[in-house]
A = this chain, B = another copy of it.
Amino acid sequence: MRSGFKGKLYPVNPKESEIMGLRSYPSILDIPGGVDLVVVSVPASVVPQVMSECGQKGVKFAVVHSVGFSELGVRGRELENEMLQIAQRHGTRIIGPNCMGLYCPGVGLNTIVPRASLENEAGSIAFLGQSGWVSQSFIEMGYERGLRFSKVVSIGNQSDLTIEDLLEYLAADVETKIIACYIEGIKHGRKFLQLAKQISRRKPIIVWKAGRTEVGIRAAASHTGALAGNDAVFSAVLKQGGAITAQNLEELIDLVVGFTCPVLPLGNRLGVLVESGAGAVASADACETLGLEIPILPMETQQELAYAVQGIIPAFPNRQNPIDIVWVPPEHSARIFLLCSRIILNDVDAALVMAYTKLDEYFATELVGIRDEMEKPIFFISCDSTMQQTGVSLLSKKGIPTFTTPERALKVLSAMVHYSNYLRQNDG
């Protein structure tokens, strides 16, 4: 918190007079002036007392990190209820317990990521997660992929503020354009469905629902006290609500990266332009499984492509689609891939480009220009798997979603086609 938070911090600890150079107070009641948020990191048994002090002080919100509540079963549930009743009496709202709390880089508020190097650069991605690990990893792995965040909330046991409450808040939050969630169990199914339906028409909601299997449900119960419930029912709720579903953390991040693209594909016809033959084969295999089509391009388009690369590449074995450029000398790479991307986008709904091209500001800006002119998504795979992390983040930040492998990119494109269909079917 000290590295970014612009407001005032008051450590509270009955045994210390100073903590990390800040004056420490014996109790919340001793803090001078009002308090907006209390971050509670004390043993579970002391939490009710802390909550009582919060109430007397008129604190509006508390993040309760402490574990040892409803996730432990009956006895813990009693303690959680005790804490909650005290809070409700005074009007204090609680996030948690058994949670990591908040990451709101816009105001430098961060109780989740213990990482000094993470810059407090705000963005438009929100995340709600019933897991500290998922919340933290979503931020860290997403950050490296170019994602920037509006609000991240690790919600824990949802004793007071539930995922539905927070969804309602994020629906109205102008900073938030995409909402991602990790959910083990929901408490108010009907409300969730209603909210999802409303929100998904304006903002994509991407959900990793865990606790899908018998043992998974047992594990979820002891993790966040969640009643994971029937997976088939929840899947139907998500589908009906227009939510996009992920099966794991990487897929969740991939999907969010994809949806940062400001345009949706209007159909499932894809142009695949590669500098690797195996990339073409892998893309074709994946498309067939995912319901995406790689149509053979009209002869004029093929001729246009041949004309564009004339004199640059020695052989052009396949320009039907997938289009295999084989290899372009580095000095021509950016120009050729930009030119060819524009040509093929005339005939398809979206393009997947896979190249060794250097991912610099020029290339990124030009690709963005083509995407905006054609109003069609362009997804990018860097053939140079390990050396362009800065470039990958650069492209994704500009809404040219970038991935390691064609399969991962295509899975996301397929989800975008479905979402696009959902929006058209539920429009008006």
Binding site for B on A (CB under 8 A): 43-44, 67-68, 71-73, 76, 115, 129-134, 136-137, 140-141, 144, 182, 184, 210-216, 218-220, 222-224, 247-250, 275-289, 294, 314-315, 317-318, 320, 322, 324, 326-327, 383, 385-387, 404-405, 407-408
Contact = CB atoms under 8 A, between A and B. Distances in A.
A328 to B, nearest CB: 12
A314 B280 contact: no
30 contacts: A67-B327, A71-B315, A76-B315, A115-B387, A133-B277, A137-B383, A140-B385, A141-B385, A184-B281, A211-B281, A211-B284, A212-B285, A213-B288, A215-B322, A216-B284, A219-B281, A219-B284, A219-B318, A220-B281, A222-B277, A222-B317, A222-B318, A222-B324, A223-B281, A223-B317, A224-B277, A248-B282, A248-B407, A250-B404, A250-B408
B182 A278 contact: yes
Nearest to A143: B386
A218 to B, nearest CB: 7
Residue from the set A219, A224, A322, A404 with the largest chain B CB neighbour count within 10 Å: A219
A223 B315 contact: no
B289 A213 contact: yes
Can you list the 3 inter-chain pairs with the closest CB atoms, starting with the nearest? A223-B277, A131-B278, A133-B276
Contacts of A387: 115, 140
A222 B223 CA distance: 52
Residue from the set A129, A210, A211, A212 with the largest chain B CB neighbour count within 10 Å: A210
Nearest to A276: B133
A213 B133 contact: no
Given A285-B216, A405-B249, A278 B184 contact: yes
A215 to B, nearest CB: 4
A346 B314 CA distance: 61
A289 B215 CA distance: 11
A390 to B, nearest CB: 15
A247 B407 CA distance: 9
A322 B385 contact: no
B289 A250 contact: no
Contacts of A73: 317
Nearest to A318: B222
A134 B216 CA distance: 35
Contacts of A275: 133
A248 B281 CA distance: 11
